[in-house]
A = this chain, B = another copy of it.
Amino acid sequence: MPRAHHPFTSRRTASVAYLGENRLIAKIRQWLGPASPPAPHGIGDDCAVVRRARGDTLVTVDPLVFGRHFDASVPGRAAGAKLLKRNASDIAAMGGRPSAAVVALALDAKTNVAWLADFYRGLAAAARSLDIAVVGGDVAQADGVFVATLTLLGETTARVLTRQGARRGDSIYVTGVLGNSLASRHHLNFTPRLAEGQWLAGRDEVRSMMDVSDGLAKDLAALTPPAAEAALQRDLLPLRRGATLAGALSDGEDYELVFTVARGADLAAFAAAWRRKFPRTRLTRIGEFVARRPRLARTEGIVNLAVHRGYEHFR
């Protein structure tokens, strides 16, 4: 594994321990720059004040752990950006608009200040490009680890698209292409599907949605209505360059949207409206929900989802 971007340093003068907490927090505010508004709407008081939005509030949280979600081959900038974008993908998955983030670090005293500067600069650049304010955070010491936990707030738009709502006969769609996320570095370079998610929340024929993060085979189970199963057409699955069918189903970290469209909807009109709105984002109808039956998985051309478990942590 390349060690170019290791977050820890053996030089004490390069470490956060040498800097001390007060100066570290001052540095973080500097690294965030215009991505962090002045208190009380940003860092510097007991809480941050986020102005009331028109919709309901959406909230999601995801940690980023060194050695698990990224390694020393990943520049600090890319790690910081990934943390924000992963959370933004969850807001996209509900059809929402992100607004404000808080970031809590638990880190070893040996964490390299220069690496951390890169991390925050990457996070700030991603925040500005997605119109998200970084409004608060916390820094605590924890031996031997770098754990950054980001909580992202957003607001609902036209309506909330949840994982519930699909019925038998509904079509299953996915944005973009799937698989081979790690080797292709898509897991770092992706753009959360925020515009697409908001547009889909405004389309009545869309009944449910989520993002693909643990692999389609695992994630799709959450959209599947009772007494139904997903019949995916093997030939239709949109593969990333270098991805196998198995990888497209279980690699994870795709950060694409998977959603369902009601049976009886005008699918041609829906696809045409999508192409007008998002001419550069691929959209694929990959199958439909059918009544559960014993031999579906052995049907010619249908994916056997049971053999493609997604990633499970702690295993």
Chain A residues engaging chain B, CB cutoff 8 angstroms: 16-17, 19-22, 24, 39-40, 44-53, 55-63, 65, 67-69, 90-91, 93-94, 96, 100, 102-106, 109, 135-145, 147, 149, 151, 153-154, 156, 160, 162-164, 210-211, 312-315
Residues of B within 8 A of A163 (CB): 39, 44-46
> Quick check: B65 and A58 within 8 Å, CB to CB?
no
Q: Please tell me if the beta carbons of A52 and B57 are within 8 angstroms of each other in the complex.
A: yes
User: Are A211 and B67 touching (Cβ within 8 A)?
Assistant: no
Most buried by B among A45, A91, A154, A163: A45
Indicate whether A19 sits within 8 Å of B143 (C-beta atoms), given known contacts A47-B60, A163-B46: no
Across the interface, which residues of B come within 8 angstroms of A156, CB to CB? 49
The chain B residue sitting closest to A50, CB to CB, is B57
Q: List 3 A-B pairs, minimum CB-CB distance, nearest first.
A: A46-B93, A151-B151, A149-B149
Assembled-state Cα–Cα distance A62/B55 (Å): 26
Q: Which of B93, B105, B143, B211 contacts A144 (CB under 8 A)?
A: B143
Residue of B19, B144, B313 near A145 (CB, 8 A) is: B144
Residues of B within 8 A of A141 (CB): 65, 68, 313-314
CB pair A106–B147 under 8 Å, yes or no, is yes
What CA separation (Å) do A138 and B51 show in the bound complex? 26
Q: Chain A interface mostly helix, strand, loop or mixed?
A: mixed
How many copies the complex holds: the figure is 2
Closest Cβ–Cβ distance, residue A89 to chain B (whole Å): 8
Contact B61 A102 (CB under 8 A): yes
Q: Kindly report which residue of chain B lies nearest to residue A25, judged by CB atoms.
A: B313
Task: Report yes or no: B137 in contact with A61, Cβ–Cβ below 8 A.
Answer: yes
Q: Is the CB of B59 within 8 A of A94?
A: no
Chain B nearest CB, measured from A47 CB (Å) = 4
Residue of B nearest to A55 (CB): B52
Give the complex CA separation of A44 and B210 in angstroms: 11
Can you report 14 A-B residue pairs in the complex whose CB atoms are below 8 A from each other?
A24-B314, A39-B164, A46-B60, A46-B90, A48-B60, A49-B56, A52-B56, A59-B100, A59-B153, A60-B136, A65-B106, A67-B142, A143-B145, A144-B145
Residues of chain B lying within 8 A (CB to CB) of residue A17: 314-315
